[in-house]
Chain A
């Protein structure tokens, strides 16, 4: 009983905190995104969850190339809460021989803490030719004394923004699915050793609910992908592999239904269940490591690697995993009790 109550309480807290806690202030966009060497320009920076007019001076803005070569801004002015204007003088030379140079944007003040936008601006030579390198002008400034925002908030990641909250719903689904499939396989092993019909009913029940959570994981992932990748289905390797894993378990239910004798059906289904679980391991753990993925943390997105999960997010994420797991076990137990009762009714 206690664990059912704690599942409800944990999930309520997860919904409450997961949906209500705001994101850290961050940067979404900077214009112009391309400038010529030697140009003097005003960079207009768009913020998210920011209060630029309330920020106390000094608000410092830098453009950084690979963390080594830095341009500091001249005057900085807040236009409104979410717009900041910073004046920059770009040297006529590049720090390294190149025709094009990507720059990351860093904005820092005491109220917001340090904010970061990767590849915000690109220095592009007009002719497209390589510009001579002289890095002295790129070494006058230094990014230092950054402030930390200590509020209880969630990480701001460009592109993801508010959809980062999906972490508390999408990711736990996979963990619950895996736990349920593991239990299902365990009961299949028990069934093979003892020929116990109840163990088989348990295996089927856990597999059913595991499949349900897998589908929920796929759906929550597709909803999220629609906003961050631009389409619900991008043939990402993890999407493909989880779809295949779900097919394996759908086939398990077809297999259960295609034998006339219940004992044979139970035994063969138990064998396939163990086989299916073992094939899930390469699907989920080996293949996604060979091919690059669009997923945050995957190779395709180096930006997402740094501090994806800050401490605050972990504080919500771990209870979410626990809460969803308990809920999954609860549903599965109800399901199993129902099927055992049905079986007994049929026998009578």
Chain B
């Protein structure tokens, strides 16, 4: 552990970006989950893209090792769908649309909130020495996007089983879900990073993120209503563009601001 630490540190002391030119190749043979997770990869001294892939792989492997946490979130979605279904027995398409996105919203918050909380201070310090913060956040955003897509599909499937599936325009709905997952993932990951250091991070997560995702949620509900043929709008690409614009703003800010959150 110390050898790796020192090698990177010596390369460029004082900077949070490790010096990749310091041609030192150390396999990460540290005890503990992380080492096993990135076994065979050289996190130190790698180009940005490789570091990104390694970090993404680490996220997925860590999640796979703690399958009960993933199972917890998926079960959360199922229970929520069931509770919603029992509470409102006959679900008309307009209500279905709103409920689906509410389930997505709450499940996403619960899924993403642990991205930073689960990491201890020591491990954070370790990543801090190894990787560019932009790659760390990008890996987490990508991983959370995939997770939210899984949650969205599961919610669609279970909700479809109990309450029927009113989706008419499948392609538009899929596009909406992808855009929604990306947007939620960016906003919630960044806010999870902000809230992770605070005393009441779960409450903080909700109050910080709800107002921020509100424009996105409204646009998503509108697009999904179009895909359910609840409303006619041939110019829905404007909504898609708006979503893309919001996503771009958020990801840019995340890149610029995340190093400040991370520096501890």
List chain A positions with a Cβ less than 8 A from chain B.
192, 241, 244-245, 247-248, 250-251, 254-255, 258-260, 264, 267-268, 270-272, 274-276, 278-279, 281-283, 286-287, 290-291
Which single member of B194, B200, B239 contacts A272 (CB below 8 Å)? B194
Interface-central residue, A251, A264, A283, A291, by most chain B CB under 10 Å: A251
The chain B residue sitting closest to A250, CB to CB, is: B207
The chain A residue sitting closest to B213, CB to CB, is: A279
Which single member of A248, A250, A282 contacts B249 (CB below 8 Å)? A282
Q: Does the CB pair A251–B211 fall under 8 Å?
A: yes
Measured CB to CB, the closest approach of chain B to A177, in angstroms, equals 15
Q: Does the CB pair B200–A258 fall under 8 Å?
A: yes
Distance in angstroms between the alpha carbons of A281 and B207 in the assembled complex: 19
Residues of A contacting B198 in the complex (Cβ-Cβ under 8 angstroms):
255, 258-259, 268
Given the contacts A255-B198, A275-B212, A268 and B207 also touching, CB distance less than 8 Å:
no
Residues of B contacting A271 in the complex (Cβ-Cβ under 8 angstroms):
194, 257, 260-261
Measured CB to CB, the closest approach of chain B to A188, in angstroms, equals 10
Q: Does the CB pair B208–A279 fall under 8 Å?
A: no
Q: Does the CB pair B215–A283 fall under 8 Å?
A: yes
List chain B positions with a Cβ less than 8 A from chain A.
190-191, 194-195, 197-200, 204, 207-208, 210-212, 214-216, 218-219, 222, 238-239, 242, 245-246, 249-250, 253, 257, 260-261, 263-264
Distance in angstroms between the alpha carbons of A291 and B260 in the assembled complex: 36
Q: Does the CB pair A255–B249 fall under 8 Å?
A: no
Q: Does the CB pair B210–A282 fall under 8 Å?
A: no
Q: Does the CB pair B197–A259 fall under 8 Å?
A: yes
Q: Does the CB pair B204–A254 fall under 8 Å?
A: yes
Residues of A contacting B263 in the complex (Cβ-Cβ under 8 angstroms):
267
Given the contacts A192-B260, A260-B199, A286-B245, A244 and B253 also touching, CB distance less than 8 Å:
no
Distance in angstroms between the alpha carbons of A171 and B245 in the assembled complex: 27
Q: Across the A-B interface, give the 8 residue pairs with the lowest CB-CB distance, nearest first.
A: A258-B198, A247-B211, A282-B215, A248-B211, A244-B211, A251-B207, A279-B212, A287-B215
Residues of B contacting A286 in the complex (Cβ-Cβ under 8 angstroms):
215, 242, 245-246
Measured CB to CB, the closest approach of chain A to B261, in angstroms, equals 5
A-B contacts, 7 listed (Cβ < 8 Å)? A255-B194, A264-B264, A271-B257, A271-B261, A278-B249, A282-B249, A287-B215
The chain B residue sitting closest to A277, CB to CB, is: B253
Q: Does the CB pair A290–B211 fall under 8 Å?
A: no
Residues of B contacting A275 in the complex (Cβ-Cβ under 8 angstroms):
190-191, 194, 212, 253, 257
Measured CB to CB, the closest approach of chain B to A280, in angstroms, equals 9
Q: Does the CB pair B197–A264 fall under 8 Å?
A: yes
Distance in angstroms between the alpha carbons of A283 and B250 in the assembled complex: 13
Q: Does the CB pair A287–B218 fall under 8 Å?
A: yes
Measured CB to CB, the closest approach of chain A to B216, in angstroms, equals 8
Measured CB to CB, the closest approach of chain A to B256, in angstroms, equals 8
Residues of B contacting A241 in the complex (Cβ-Cβ under 8 angstroms):
214-215
Q: Does the CB pair A245–B211 fall under 8 Å?
A: yes
Q: Does the CB pair A259–B199 fall under 8 Å?
A: yes
| Tally of A-B Cβ pairs under 8 angstroms | 87
Residues of A contacting B214 in the complex (Cβ-Cβ under 8 angstroms):
241, 244, 283
Distance in angstroms between the alpha carbons of A336 and B190 in the assembled complex: 29
Distance in angstroms between the alpha carbons of A245 and B211 in the assembled complex: 7
Residues of A contacting B190 in the complex (Cβ-Cβ under 8 angstroms):
275
Measured CB to CB, the closest approach of chain B to A238, in angstroms, equals 13
Distance in angstroms between the alpha carbons of A251 and B218 in the assembled complex: 20
Q: Does the CB pair B260–A247 fall under 8 Å?
A: no
The chain A residue sitting closest to B257, CB to CB, is: A271
The chain A residue sitting closest to B242, CB to CB, is: A286
Given the contacts A247-B210, A290-B222, A290-B239, A282 and B246 also touching, CB distance less than 8 Å:
yes
Residues of B contacting A282 in the complex (Cβ-Cβ under 8 angstroms):
215-216, 242, 245-246, 249
Measured CB to CB, the closest approach of chain A to B68, in angstroms, equals 29
Q: Does the CB pair A247–B253 fall under 8 Å?
A: no
Give 15 A-B pairs besides A241-B214, A279-B211, A287-B219 with Cβ atoms closer than 8 angstroms.
Answer: A192-B260, A250-B207, A251-B211, A255-B194, A259-B199, A268-B194, A271-B261, A274-B253, A274-B257, A275-B253, A275-B257, A279-B215, A282-B245, A283-B214, A283-B215
Measured CB to CB, the closest approach of chain B to A7, in angstroms, equals 31
Residues of B contacting A283 in the complex (Cβ-Cβ under 8 angstroms):
211, 214-215
The chain B residue sitting closest to A275, CB to CB, is: B253
Q: Does the CB pair A258–B199 fall under 8 Å?
A: yes
The chain B residue sitting closest to A237, CB to CB, is: B218
Distance in angstroms between the alpha carbons of A279 and B260 in the assembled complex: 19
Distance in angstroms between the alpha carbons of A301 and B263 in the assembled complex: 51
Q: Does the CB pair B261–A268 fall under 8 Å?
A: yes
Q: Does the CB pair A267–B242 fall under 8 Å?
A: no
The chain B residue sitting closest to A260, CB to CB, is: B199
Distance in angstroms between the alpha carbons of A267 and B257 in the assembled complex: 10
Q: Does the CB pair A268–B211 fall under 8 Å?
A: no
Distance in angstroms between the alpha carbons of A248 and B207 in the assembled complex: 8
Q: Does the CB pair A251–B208 fall under 8 Å?
A: yes
Distance in angstroms between the alpha carbons of A258 and B257 in the assembled complex: 20
The chain B residue sitting closest to A279, CB to CB, is: B212
Measured CB to CB, the closest approach of chain A to B218, in angstroms, equals 6
Residues of B contacting A251 in the complex (Cβ-Cβ under 8 angstroms):
204, 207-208, 211
Q: Does the CB pair A281–B249 fall under 8 Å?
A: yes
Residues of B contacting A290 in the complex (Cβ-Cβ under 8 angstroms):
218-219, 222, 238-239, 242
